[in-house]
Amino acid sequence: MSLSDAKVWTYEDVQRLPEDGRRYEVIDGVLYVSPSPRQIHQLLSRRLQFFFYQFELEGKGYVYNAPMDLRMQGCSPVQPDLIFLTADQYEQIKECWVEGPPHLLVEILSPKSGSLDRVKKLRKYAQNDVPFYLIVDPKAETLGVLELDGSTYRLAHSLIPPDDEWTFQGKTLKLAELFAPLKRA
């Protein structure tokens, strides 16, 4: 949801907002507010975080989950669901945010975030030269893998369970495992 008043929002403005469980993001000076994510959103985020955490354990990168501010030109801050940086991007990691474009971003769609994630954020991430952008659709159970091609993204893979897999830097993510139902303990 956008708060469309005449104010041009800044990172500093967002820092003064209450910590109330909502996600506050600024794109081109417009403030967007999202509620806390749903259970399926958190489940998918955690499973993807574990996938990328393998790279961290091997000293090949760093993974951060929301809420972690990402500051880039034209979107400061945004809070992607997951931020993945390669080992050589370590200097971009600050105390409370990541500064500049990471190697990969993940957005998990929610009922109200579709146009923000698929249009506005997609354009900003491409303008900031983020090489990979993953869009996870919990309702459709799909994983869209977008790769930067010049100044725009191209859909490299559109994956669905149970048989599809995605290989990233030698590690394989099985869509059947990503979208497996939550089991009772």
What domains can be seen in the chain, in order of their start residue? 37-178 (3.90.1570.10)
**Stretch 141-146: mean pLDDT:** 96
Which two three-digit tokens encode residue 130?
């983020």
pLDDT above 90 for 12: no
pLDDT at 5: 59
Give one DSSP letter per residue of 101-159, joined into a string.
Answer: --SEEEEE--TTTHHIIIIIIHHHHHHTT-SEEEEEETTTTEEEEEEEETTEEEEEEEE
**Stretch 101-113: mean pLDDT:** 90
pLDDT above 70 for 184: no
Could you give the CA distance from residue 183 to residue 83 in angstroms, rounded to a whole number? 27
Distances (CA, A) of 149 to 17, 130, 155, 166: 37, 10, 10, 19
pLDDT above 90 for 19: no
pLDDT at 167: 97
Dihedral of CA 184/109/169/99: which sign? negative
**Stretch 81-108: mean pLDDT:** 96
Distances (CA, A) of 52 to 40, 45, 162: 18, 11, 20
pLDDT at 131: 98
What rounded mean pLDDT belongs to the chain? 89
**Stretch 88-105: mean pLDDT:** 96
Give 120-131 pLDDT, tens digit per residue.
888 999 999 999
